[in-house]
Amino acid sequence: MHATPERIADRYELVSTISTGGMGRVWRGYDTVLDRPVAVKVIRPDAVADPERYDEYADRFKREARVTARIEHPGVPAVYDAAVDKDLGSLYLVMQLVRGVSLADTIAEAAPLTVPAAASVAAQVCAVLSQAHAVPVVHRDLKPGNIMVADDGTVKVLDFGIAAVLRTDVTRLTHTGSILGTYAYMPPEQVHGLPATPGSDLYSLGCVLYELLTRRTVFSGDYNHFQLQVAHVQEQPVPPSEHVADLPEDLERLVLELLDKDPEHRPASAQDVYDRLVPHLPQPDPSAPDRPLAPGALPDPTRPYRRPMAPRPKAPVPAPTKPLPSTPGDTVAQAFPVPGLAPGELVEADEHAQELLAEGRFAQAVGVLDDVIDPAAAALGGESAQVVELRLLRANALAISGDARRALPEFTALADILERRAGHDDERALICRQQAAYCMAQLGETTRALRAAEDVFDRFRRVSGERSEDALDLRREIAMWRLRSGETEHAARELHELYADLRAEYGPGAPEAIQVAEILNRLRRGRDAR
């Protein structure tokens, strides 16, 4: 059986580790009250204060977190909660979980970036810093590991939750004399232990932009930590044009100004940096094709500028796969190793997800299944019986949780698979088609939903008659969709027939029959009023 997750404040479950750093650990978590995934940063007490002064530092931590929560910008993950768990002796922040790729991974896989892509990342970071510095909050540890590119191309700056507030009455949450920051991106004034300012964040941004354009850190030789700090204080960086050809002169000049040793000689503000990046941003082209992000592909940070205020990218349509023959008794069982999964993990995920669904924890159930379905499909085939069972469970969880956008293509693909295996009128295939129609309606595609539902009802009628539970449910939905589409008379006829069948099947006092009777009464009153 799955292990019981550790829980913070009797509400937030710590599901799996996202990252570990000097200040603590970031977890992918789950909010048991609101049924949603979250990120939980648990900060070690020994990383922030003398244990004897823990309560004092905890109070300051909460005060800083409250101020940080005032950074209302889409480029900053929302802070949901910040408190102290005295049982665990930890400070923790609960934040919006960002789905995307770390800028550190983007650099490792794709750098040097094109000038428009690098400028797009830096400009979005500037937009965040401009808002934060107005609070005022300084990040103090800006680096690729604290920047993410979300799936839609938007850039998110992480870890403002441990930033210092620019106020003299708030003590830094670090050991006395210790330095907060990462050596490869650390401004000279922080090396000297001086207070960080907005200009300090701009220096770190210059280090990040240098790396985006060249795939090299500013000082990339064989330095130890001490030598790297000395380099930031004393050495001049090699101009980025010596590492990459055809770099615009004004962009190189901006990078070198950001890296000036004297904060007074750097650009005056994040807004000024943004303005100088604007000529290198891609031009808006809202009519350009907006291709969905392919599985495993890096998000495109130019998208927010190419398609400003555009809808979210369309979900990729699953490609049809070659059907695999099922074997007798083939269920969600893992009798042999699956690369990327622990022995028995498929069975455990199936059982765990079903338990979560029974508890109404739909989002968490989807997360559990997401973790195992892709590696299982890669090893066993996307249409193997074991994977199909897991996909069916996930599709149902998505539908129940209201995520019709993800559920629709999955129900459609599963219906295709089941029909190829068991025929056009297979019961589970019909239910998948029925659920797909419901998803269409939830997404506002009423006409499409109506046509799909009519086809499914014809098949239900052949297989199980007009009075099966599924057929009756579908008839009610079809009539309601007709009402929304303005087909009032047609809908009224179907509702009269449905009401008679519901009374015959369940009795006149059944909730289903009463609901339809009330709809008919409203329609009658509407006709009489005319």
Which residues are catalytic, by number? 141
How many CB atoms neighbour CB 423 within 10 A? 9
Report cis status (omega within 30 of 0) of the bond before 112: yes
Query: 10: part of which helix (H) or strand (E)?
Result: none
How many angstroms separate the Cα of 96 from the Cα of each of 26, 33, 40, 478? 12, 15, 9, 38
CA-CA-CA-CA torsion sign (516, 522, 525, 526): negative
- List CB contacts of 373: < 8 A, sequence separation 6 or more: 387, 390, 391, 394
Tally of CA atoms within 13 A in the half-sphere of 176 that contains its CB: 2
Distance CA 146, CA 182 (A): 11
- List CB contacts of 84: < 8 A, sequence separation 6 or more: 58, 61, 62, 90, 91, 92
Q: Are 381 and 417 in contact (CB under 8 A)?
A: no
Distance CA 177, CA 194 (A): 10
DSSP secondary structure string for all residues of 292-351: PPPTTPPP-TTHHHHSTTPPPPPPPPPPP-------TT--S---S--TTS-TTHHHHHHH
Sheet architecture: strand order including 90-95: 6-8, 12-21, 24-31, 36-43, 90-95, 79-85
- Report which of 208, 21, 27, 249 is spatially closest to residue 122, judged by C-alpha positions: 208
| Pairing mode, strands 90-95 and 79-85 | antiparallel
Q: Are 473 and 457 in contact (CB under 8 A)?
A: no
185 DSSP 8-state letter: G
**DSSP alpha helices (H): ranges in 69-168?**
103-110, 115-133
Backbone angles phi, psi at 509, to 5 degrees: -90, 5
Distance CA 434, CA 414 (A): 12
Q: Are 173 and 237 in contact (CB under 8 A)?
A: no
Q: Are 3 and 15 in contact (CB under 8 A)?
A: no
